[in-house]
Amino acid sequence: MSAKLMPDTCVWIDFLRNRDTTLTQQLEQALLQGEVYTCGVVLYELLQGIRTPGEEQQVRLAFDALVMCETMAKTWVAAAGISSGLRSRGITLPMSDIIIAAVALEHGLTVMTVDQRFQQIPGLSRCLS
C-alpha cells in the first residue's frame, strides 16, 4: 500500500487498544513507511474519549509523529459544499465526518475507516474493512 492515509478515529481506537484487524495491520505498515496523516478533528475525538493520563500521553506522542493537516478556510468551504450536496440528496452526516472527508480530499488522502457513512461522500478515497 503506497497511498497517503488518514485513519478515522475508529481505526485509531482499535490500533491503540491493540486490536488485530485488517485496518490496524495496514495502519501499522503505513506508520512504518511514514504515510499516515491526521487532522484536528481526529485528535479531538480521540482525546475527548480517553480514560487515563497514560492514554492521553500515548495519543499525544503518537500524533506528534504525524503530519497534521490544518483546517483552513477553504477546507470549511469545501466541507459546507459536501454537506450541502449530501443534504440535497436527503443524506445528513455528522460534521466531524464531513470535515475529515474535506481534509482528506484537499490533501489527496485515503480515509481508513470502518464507518460506512464515508461511502456516501463523492470522490473520497476510502480504505474500508
**10 lies in which domain range?**
5-128
**pTM for the predicted model, two decimal places:** 0.92
Find the distance separating the first CA and the last CA of the chain, reported in whole Å: 15
Angle at the Cα of 54 from the Cα atoms of 11 and 16, rounded to 5 degrees: 15
Query: What's residue 31's pLDDT?
Result: 93
Contacts of 18 (CB under 8 A, 6+ apart): none
pLDDT tens, 92-105? 999 999 999 999 99
Query: What's residue 116's pLDDT?
Result: 92
Query: What's residue 54's pLDDT?
Result: 87
Query: What's residue 99's pLDDT?
Result: 98
Structural domains of the chain, count: 1
Name the strand (E) or helix (H) holding 9: helix 9-16
- Looking at residues 25-38, what average pLDDT do you find? 95
- How far apart (Å, rounded) are the C-alpha atoms in residues 78 and 46? 24
Secondary structure (3-state) at 37 = strand
CATH code at position 80: 3.40.50.1010
pLDDT(27) > 60: yes
Query: What's residue 2's pLDDT?
Result: 56
pLDDT tens, 32-91? 999 999 999 999 999 998 988 988 998 999 899 999 999 999 999 999 999 999 999 999
